[in-house]
Amino acid sequence: MDETLIRNLFAGWQRLTIAEDIDAILKLMAEDVVYLTQGNPPMRGREALAASLRQALQHATIHPSRHATTANPPSRKGFTLSVLRRKPDRGWEMSRDANLLC
């Protein structure tokens, strides 16, 4: 059951990113989420993540293939790490995410 819930969380995150539904994405994140990306200071909390997502979506388009495109796309490669937290309702939420740090 937990595996299904976690897979659904990530599938929902991808679907909502493609739809550019930032408000719904934030509901998947813990209030105190910390999101790390290479070369940037940590985004701490939902509002910091929302501001970053809004800025990114001004400069990129998310295609259903799950790839972002920009006028000058950066070269990105590396590992990611996501840490989930169990919610009181027994569901899961994103607590920490480190994206392409190396």
Q: Residue 46 belongs to what domain range?
A: 1-61
As for how many domains the chain has, the answer is: 1
pLDDT digits (tens, 9 = 90+) for 9-29: 999 998 998 888 999 999 999
The answer to whether position 77 is within a domain reads no
Domain CATH number, residue 12: 3.10.450.50
Say which residues have a Cβ less than 8 Å from residue 81's Cβ, sequence separation at least 6.
96, 97, 98
The answer to whether position 36 is within a domain reads yes
pLDDT digits (tens, 9 = 90+) for 16-68: 988 889 999 999 999 999 999 888 899 999 999 999 989 888 877 665 554 45
77-81 average pLDDT score: 77
Rounded Cα–Cα distance for residues 37 and 46 (Å): 15
The answer to whether position 17 is within a domain reads yes
Number of other residues whose CB lies within 10 A of the CB of residue 28 = 19
Q: What is the pTM of this model?
A: 0.76
